[in-house]
Chain A
Amino acid sequence: MAECHPVGFRWVMKAKERGATIIHVDPRYTRTSAVADVHVPIRAGSDIAFLGGIVHYVIEHERYFRDYLVPFTNAATIISADYHDTDDLDGLFSGYDHGHYDEASWQYEGVTAVPAAGHKEVVARLGAGKVGKVDDGDLESAFRAPRDDTLQHPRCVFQIVRRHFARYTPEMVARTCGVPEEQLLRVARAMCDASGRERTAAICYAVGWTQHTVGVQYIRTAAILQLLLGNIGRPGGGIMALRGHSSIQGSTDIPTLFDLLPGYLGMPHSGQAHSLDEYLRSHRSSGWWSELPKYMVSLLKAWFGDAATRDNDFLFRRLPLLSGDHSHLETITEMADGKVSGYFVIGENPVVGTVDGPLQRKGLRKLDWLVVRDFAPTETAEFWRSSPEIDRGEVRTADIQTEVFFFPAATHVEKDGSFTNTQRLLQWHHQAIAPPGDTRSDLWFAYHLGRRLKQRYAATTGERDLAIRALTWDYPTVGPTGSPIDEPSAEAVLREVNGYHVATGAPVAGFTELADDGSTACGCWLYSGCYAEGVNQAARRRPAAEQSWVAPDWGWAWPANRRLMYNRASADRDGRPWSERKRYVWWDEAAGKWVGHDVPDFIADRPPSYRPPDDAQGLATIGGDAPFILQSDGRGWLFAPSGIIDGPLPSHYEPQESVIANPLYPQQCNPVRLEWRRRDNPYHAAARDRRFPFVLITFRLTEHHTAGGMSRWLSWLSELQPALFCEVSPELAAERGLHNRGWATIRSARAEIECRVLVTRRLRPLVLGGTVVHQIGVPYHWGRIGRVRGDVVNDLFPIAADPNVNIPESKLITVDIVAGRRSRGRTAVIDGPTAIGGADPGPGAVLRRDLPGVGQIDDHPAAQQAHHQHRPPGGSGGGGAQATPPRPHGRRGNT
């Protein structure tokens, strides 16, 4: 966090000064570790095992916060008798079928379907290549599921969780994560000591957690832990998602994601959305999502204005529909297959920042046109004249037909706009200087592109073009009329995002004013209130000294300017603060409403004693003791009966490429992870194939910005970290003859790169049982253009992704490292066989999903594990490099 969020880390340092214990769990010793009280070096990709170990400790030592746990979570809820855990099924949950889970057996007893917040599973399942289904079950009955508040029922969630994590013992954690038992116990004790009525503990994570084939389950494990300890919805608690860069939170809220509409409304898809009613029926549920029709209709009104009426379903059917997985990763592979003709890349540099650079470039080469908007040329914009393939002579610039348009973009000081960062806070920034030359803001680009499209379609009459013809696109522009800039007003966009009454045009005060009859319009219900009373609430900058410590008058936080979500949980079942120290939001009996330091995240006048009647509908289903109002049962979910594609509980699976066999289950990897089995995307099964015996982990440096497009051109930053380097331990350096400041070549099954060597004790080999695992840290900021240059680290990575969110596993792979610079000639692994270390299964072959890249059924992980355990202990680096055939050291190819 100190590395990548140094400004946010200010508050961690303040907490430390006030006595907080800072624990840092990271494979590398980083700037954060340097100031942390405890640094836990962990094997990359084993976080579920580590957190599971803490969950195990909390449950076995009864350190959970019972008074919070029982009413506020689904710990007491009874689960269907059909459910079977990974413990029973060798690492699979019940309902597994050909790389896909059927959630039917995970449900609450007596309830056919428990909808998760926002119904993401319905669309997300598309990501796995499946057709989504309309769930016509009893969507509003989750709150009526049977409970056992003593937590003794063998099928209650608490007992299921206890049994599930029973095997995550300290010994198992040590063997899986390389974390000594006493260190795990120290962390577990510190977490427990900092939780309860008087104290809270927070967990912060960043892309080190999300970029895995089990990324969502990492965060699920953290959520289980925080719910057990009562750390959600309380000041100083929570799980903080540190976003990858500025306003990435905002780009999820008002999304650039393929499967979401603004405000986390599910994108309709072709198999389902034949009418608005059908869409609404399958997407709403009990709890707060019963309000969904208001948000959807208001969104359609915002987009289509007067053309959207009740009679024409508010033009719902003119929305684009999902027909399958349209994620970035899928798009890339389809581009490579020649199925995509045009591509917009705005403020992103996927050739450097996303996995499998060779495949990305292959896709770009097959486009008709490519638009790149950025501050400076990026490797993505320059792929046609600068790439490893061109260097090697495999591709000639003359043969690339892609037409590339590069648009210089304005920076944030050259335009008005808002940032929504980690803490959901909208902060407005004002233009300080006009964008020079041809540079324009992204808003300018989108607005004028839309305007021209509307001009083109103005004369058409086709029904299919209605979406463009009807689109409201009347943002006023600022600056002198006819001036070349003609910048649309960003405040006008914010005003539409906030929402307004259609009749009067007056801004709504918040989403509670929205209606489903077409009388209101709102661009994003979650942001409703950000322009309340016609005032740009995001631009408020009242100094800290002039307001309360919650600082409600600085910027504006969604939803409804709440600084802490689910803050009803900061009071006990009866609405009293857990303690004076942790007083935040509470029930004021005399006033008959919830009050506190923050805007209460609850129905303002619903007393804690309220219990929904059996026939309750809509918001009436939210009990007075159910703080998690976006969940259909109002509870925090230890056990997720739906919404998570890869299992109701987190289980440790090894990464797509791992140097060891899964110590916990015979199932090696996440059984429902997303794979792209193609010749140009080979995977490597290192647990059996020692040609790539080390783990490579990528990371970011404070000195550079993500794919480097913003920092590699700036010499003040470039001089601070001028070269691509790898961090290796002295042990690995000695084993491979690497010298500090010298060169090293790193090879994976896809590509090879060269980098400088930084030998440091900040990295150390981990010992798992008798196996030594070496991890190599490489920052990925470099590319082929800019003031400082280096090879593209992500060229080494394959595409394999988390099934819930389509985020690729770009944090770790298996590699080999040798001293010296890389070869300059043709690299054989590009377009090689899909399976390194096994026979090419051929196109369309049915493969066991737990055997990445290896099509030999008899090589079962269980057998592999036995083999692994029988190997003589004390093997050298890489967990058994003795299996590696002799390999010449030093430079390769023509040097």
Chain B
Amino acid sequence: MTTPVGFLTDTTLCIGCKACEVACKQWNQLPDDGFHFLGMSYDNTAALGASTWRHVSFAERPAPGGGITWKMMSDVCKHCERAGCLEACPTGAIIRTEHGSVYIQPDVCNGCGYCVPACPFGVVARRDDDGRAWKCTLCFDRLQGQLEPACAKACPTDSIQFGPLDELRARAEARVDELHARGVTGARRYGDHQPGTGGLHALFVLTDEPEVYNLPPAPVVPTAGVGRSWLSAAAGALGLAALAIGSVIFTRGGA
């Protein structure tokens, strides 16, 4: 395995141009998702989906001192260290690549759809017409060719940065310190030390609570509690057995 790589998306540099969203669609040859006017600021694609692998959100918020702020963020698959989708996948279609990314093999996926609710970030989606689950591949084909992912390449302000994860972590930390020193008190890292998912391979620098960007504040990989769930399932199974045996035993007498 080569050095794990990933994204650092610095929202303080994002101008919401959506170049990442379009570059992603173009490079990966993704179809459009239809034309819907949503009336949600400049966001008309709403969320990450089966054929939208980068999505730019626009949150209009009142500014603390009056006026307004406009928070933009380019969202993407987090390629979690402990990935809910990967752990939930029954076919082994979802794998961890040599780049540390989480990849859905379209030739293996049988479209059970279980990875969809298993993702704590709502990233993976299944298209009904195609039948399979799709998401960001971290531009696996480009990585194989020593190229950075299309979104990072297209980002004009370097809001999306691509590189070795260790480097990005250090950069995120330094960036937040710098922003604090500059008086951007709301600046924070996201996805760096996230116990619930073992850390993310797509880090973010935010200036507000994660909820503002539609990010879960403390996501947990669902399979973290799978052992206990199985224990309670075993209890249920025993109960079922006891009920069966009991109902046979306790009705032995009589005519």
Residues of A that sit less than 8 Å from B by CB: 2, 6-7, 9-10, 13, 29, 31-35, 39, 701-703, 715-723, 725, 740-741, 756-762, 787-788
Contact = CB atoms under 8 A, between A and B. Distances in A.
Nearest to B34: A719
A762 B157 contact: no
Interface stretch (B68-76, B78-86, B227-235): B68-76
A757 B39 contact: yes
Contact of B37 (A7, A756, A762): A756
A183 B84 CA distance: 50
The B interface is mostly helix, strand or loop, or mixed, namely: loop
Contact of A10 (B32, B41, B71, B156): B156
Contacts of B250: none
A720 B44 CA distance: 5
A249 B126 CA distance: 47
Contacts of B22: 716-717, 720
A722 B34 CA distance: 9
B156 A760 contact: no
A179 to B, nearest CB: 13
B35 A719 contact: yes
Contacts of A717: 22
B212 to A, nearest CB: 14
A861 to B, nearest CB: 34
B35 A13 contact: no
Contacts of B31: 715
B17 interface: yes
B128 interface: no
Given A716-B22, A757-B39, A13 B15 contact: yes
| CB-based closest 4 A-B pairs | A741-B39, A722-B35, A715-B32, A34-B70
B15 A34 contact: yes
Contacts, number: 96
29 contacts: A2-B15, A2-B17, A6-B17, A6-B19, A9-B156, A10-B158, A13-B13, A13-B15, A13-B158, A29-B68, A34-B15, A34-B16, A702-B16, A702-B18, A715-B32, A716-B25, A716-B32, A719-B44, A720-B21, A720-B22, A721-B42, A722-B35, A722-B36, A722-B44, A723-B37, A725-B39, A740-B39, A756-B39, A758-B41
A703 B32 CA distance: 14
Contact of A9 (B38, B62, B69, B157): B157
B13 to A, nearest CB: 6
Given A7-B156, A33-B70, A760 B44 contact: no
Given A717-B22, A719-B44, A762-B70, 19 more contacts: A6-B17, A7-B156, A13-B13, A13-B158, A29-B68, A31-B70, A33-B70, A39-B67, A701-B42, A702-B18, A703-B18, A716-B25, A719-B45, A720-B22, A722-B36, A722-B37, A723-B35, A725-B39, A759-B39
Contacts of B157: 6, 9-10, 13
B35 A788 contact: yes
A760 B60 contact: yes
A721 B70 contact: no
Contacts of B33: 719
Instruction: Give the interface centre of A720, A740, A741, A760 by most chain B CB atoms within 10 Å.
Output: A720
B229 to A, nearest CB: 40
Contact of A761 (B18, B42, B60): B60
Interface string B50-71: 0000000000101000011111
A150 B19 CA distance: 54
A701 B42 CA distance: 9
B8 to A, nearest CB: 15
Contacts of B41: 758, 760
B25 to A, nearest CB: 5
A773 B93 CA distance: 59
B60 to A, nearest CB: 6
A725 B44 CA distance: 12
A720 B70 contact: no
A35 B72 CA distance: 10
A718 B35 contact: yes
Contacts of B97: none
B110 interface: no
A455 B69 CA distance: 63
A721 B39 CA distance: 10
Contacts of A39: 67
Given A7-B156, A722-B36, A29 B70 contact: yes
Interface in B73-118: none
A29 B71 CA distance: 12
Nearest to A722: B35
A740 B71 CA distance: 20
Interface in B1-21: 12-13, 15-19, 21
B214 interface: no
Contact of B38 (A29, A741, A788): A741
